[in-house]
Amino acid sequence: MEALPPALEVDEKSPESKDLLPSQTASSLCISSRSESVWTAAPRSNWEIYRKPIVIMSVGGAILLFGVVITCLAYTLQLGETTMTVLRMTGPAFLSLGLMMLVCGLVWVPIIKKKHKQKQKSVFFQNLKSFFLNR
């Protein structure tokens, strides 16, 4: 086997040790975390909070309506056999997809409300805790 030069053995560190970060302080850990900081988070408007569920419900409602129209057309119009088969297959597919997205959006709203209330309680208790501990 070939021996490593002495300079590599003493001065150079292994690639694994280069990947490790030096010890971090609490402030740098807070900055790198994905969660919002309780102390610096600005109050968000209702649109910012409920934007995603509203978009999901709107798209789901549109897809559901499109599925209803296609299904109604498939059973009322007299078209060719292949067209009828395609419409009768895609109509219920759009119905189910739209209904699923609509229900997901409707369920998401109470979850966000509950999470928002828990966050407000958490901020209140942290403020209360810091008030009594800093006396």
Instruction: Give the pLDDT confidence score for residue 69 in this predicted structure.
Output: 94
Q: DSSP state, 79?
A: -
Per cent of the chain over pLDDT 90 is: 35
Containing 81, the helix (H) or strand (E) segment is: helix 81-133
pLDDT tens, residue by residue, 25-73: 555 544 544 555 545 567 778 888 889 999 999 999 999 999 999 999 9
Domain locations in the chain? 47-120
Query: Average model confidence (pLDDT) for the chain?
Result: 77
pLDDT tens, residue by residue, 111-122: 998 988 888 878
Q: If DSSP codes are grouped into helix, strand and coil, which group holds residue 35?
A: coil
Residue 41 CB partners (closer than 8 Å, separation 6+): none
